[in-house]
Homo-oligomer: A and B are copies of this chain.
Amino acid sequence: MEAQNALETRVREPDMGLLKEEDAAMLTDLYQLTMMACYRRDNKDTTSTFDLFARNLPKNRHYLVAAGLEQAIAYLQKAKFSKEGIEYLRQQNLFDESFLSYLEGWRFKGEVYAVKEGTPVFQNEPIMRITAPACEVQLIESYLLSMINYQTTVASKASRIVESAKGRPVVDFALRRCHGPGAALLEARAAYIAGCAGTSNVAAGKRFGIPIKGTMAHALVMQYDDESEPFRVFADTFKNTKLPLVLLIDTYDTIKGAENAIGIAKELEKEGKRLAGVRLDSGDLTSLSKQVRQIFDSAGLDYLTIFASNDLNEWKIEKMLLDGAPIGAFGVGTEMGVSLDAPALSGVYKLAECTSRDGNLVERMKMSEGKDTLPGRKQVYRIYDANGRMVKDVIALENEQVQGEALLVKVMENGELCGPLPSLQETRTYCLEQVARIPEATRKDDRYLHMKLSDIGYGMQDMDILGERNVPYKVEVSKGLNKLIEELKAKHRR
Q: Which residues of A contact B (CB under 8 A)?
A: 11-21, 23-24, 26-35, 37-39, 41-42, 44, 48, 50, 70-71, 73-75, 77-78, 84-85, 88-89, 92-95, 134, 138, 141-143, 145-147, 149-151, 153, 173, 175-187, 189, 200-203, 205-208, 212-220, 222-225, 230, 233-234, 236-238, 241-243, 250-253, 281-283, 334, 337-340, 343-345, 347, 349-351, 354, 356, 364, 366-371, 417, 419-421, 423, 492
Contacts and interface: CB of A to CB of B under 8 A. Distances in A.
A47 to B, nearest CB: 11
A77 B24 CA distance: 25
Given A175-B29, A241-B93, A420-B12, A343 B354 contact: no
5 contacts: A14-B77, A17-B147, A94-B238, A142-B176, A142-B201
A385 B26 CA distance: 46
Count chain B CB atoms within 10 A of each CB in A32, A38, A215 and give the residue with the most: A38
A20 B18 contact: yes
A207 to B, nearest CB: 7
B233 A30 contact: no
A27 B202 contact: yes
Query: How many copies are assembled?
Result: 2
A145 B143 CA distance: 25
Given A12-B421, A28-B202, 15 more contacts: A26-B203, A29-B200, A29-B201, A31-B214, A31-B217, A32-B214, A35-B219, A38-B216, A41-B233, A42-B237, A181-B182, A218-B366, A222-B366, A225-B356, A334-B344
B282 A371 contact: yes
B417 A14 contact: yes
Given A181-B146, A181-B147, A233-B41, A70 B217 contact: no
A268 B74 CA distance: 43
B34 A146 contact: no
A138 B218 CA distance: 11
B149 A420 contact: no
A94 B237 CA distance: 9
Contacts of A94: 238, 241-243
A51 to B, nearest CB: 12
Contacts of A250: 368-369
A175 B30 CA distance: 11
Nearest to A337: B344
A237 B41 contact: yes
Contact of A35 (B186, B213, B216, B356): B216
A39 B20 CA distance: 35
A34 B214 contact: yes
Count chain B CB atoms within 10 A of each CB in A50, A142, A345 and give the residue with the most: A142
Nearest to A420: B11
A182 B29 CA distance: 15
B200 A369 contact: no
Contacts of A364: 222-223
Nearest to A30: B214
Contacts of A251: 366-368
B18 A223 contact: no
A14 B70 contact: yes
Given A74-B15, A186-B17, A368 B218 contact: yes
A177 B149 contact: yes
Contact of A16 (B78, B217, B492): B78
A205 B32 CA distance: 14
A14 B74 contact: yes
A94 B27 CA distance: 39
Contacts of A34: 214-216, 234, 237-238, 243
A74 B217 contact: no
B33 A202 contact: yes
B185 A146 contact: no
Contact of A222 (B73, B89, B183, B354): B354
Contacts of A21: 16, 18
A146 B134 contact: no
A185 B19 contact: yes
Contacts of A492: 252
A205 B88 CA distance: 9
